[in-house]
Structure 1
Amino acid sequence: MSLVTDEIRASASEVYHGDAICQEKSKFLLTEMSLPNGLLPLEDIEECGYVKDTGFVWLKQKKEKKHKFEKIGKLVSYGTEVTATIEKGKIKKLTGVKTKELMLWITLSDITVNESNPDKISFQATSGLYRTFPVSAFQVEDVKKDVGVAKDAKVVEGDVTKETQVKEV
Structure 2
Amino acid sequence: MASQTMESLKQNAEIYHGESLCKEKSLELLSELCLPLGLLPLDEIEEVGRNRESGFVWLKQKNRTDHSFKKIGKTVSYAQEITAFVEPRRMKKLTGVKSREFLLWITVSEICIEDPDSGKISFKTPTGISRSFPASAFEIDGVEKTQQVKVEEDEEEK
TM-score bucket of the superposed structures, by smaller chain: 0.7 to 0.9
Tell me the distance in 1 between the aligned counterparts of 2:118 and 2:60. Answer: 29
Partners of 1:2 and 1:81 within 8 A in 2: no
Q: CA deviation at 1:114?
A: 2.5
Question: Which residue matches 2:150?
Answer: none
Q: CA deviation at 1:126?
A: 1.1
Question: Which residue matches 1:130?
Answer: 130
- Deviation per residue, 1:15-73 (Å, 9 max, x gap): 10011111111111111111111111111111110000111100001111100001111
| Aligned partner of residue 11 in structure 1, secondary structure | coil
Shift in CA distance, 142/59, structure 1 to aligned 2, threshold 3 Å: farther
Shift in CA distance, 82/116, structure 1 to aligned 2, threshold 3 Å: closer
Q: CA deviation at 1:3?
A: 8.3
Tell me the distance in 2 between the aligned counterparts of 1:65 and 1:116. Answer: 28
Tell me the distance in 2 between the aligned counterparts of 1:131 and 1:2. Answer: 31
Pairs within 5 Å for 1:52-91? 52-91=52-91
Shift in CA distance, 80/112, structure 1 to aligned 2, threshold 3 Å: same
Instruction: Flag the structure with higher strand content.
Output: 1
Shift in CA distance, 105/8, structure 1 to aligned 2, threshold 3 Å: same
Pairs within 5 Å for 1:23-42? 23-42=23-42
Q: CA deviation at 1:142?
A: 6.1
Instruction: Flag the structure with higher helix content.
Output: 2
1:10 aligns with 2:14: no
Question: Which residue matches 2:108?
Answer: 108
Counting aligned pairs with the same residue, the percent is 50
Partners of 1:112 and 1:123 within 8 A in 2: yes
- Structure 2 spans left out of the alignment, 5+ residues: 144-158
Tell me the distance in 1 between the aligned counterparts of 2:4 and 2:134. Answer: 31
For normalisation by structure 2, the TM-score amounts to: 0.83
Partners of 2:45 and 2:62 within 8 A in 1: yes
Following TM superposition, the consecutive aligned residue runs of length 4 or more in structure 1 with deviations greater than 6 angstroms are: 1-4
- Which range moves more in the overlay, 14-23 or 109-118? 109-118
Q: How many residues align?
A: 142
- Structure 1 spans left out of the alignment, 5+ residues: 144-169
Tell me the distance in 2 between the aligned counterparts of 1:84 and 1:29. Answer: 12
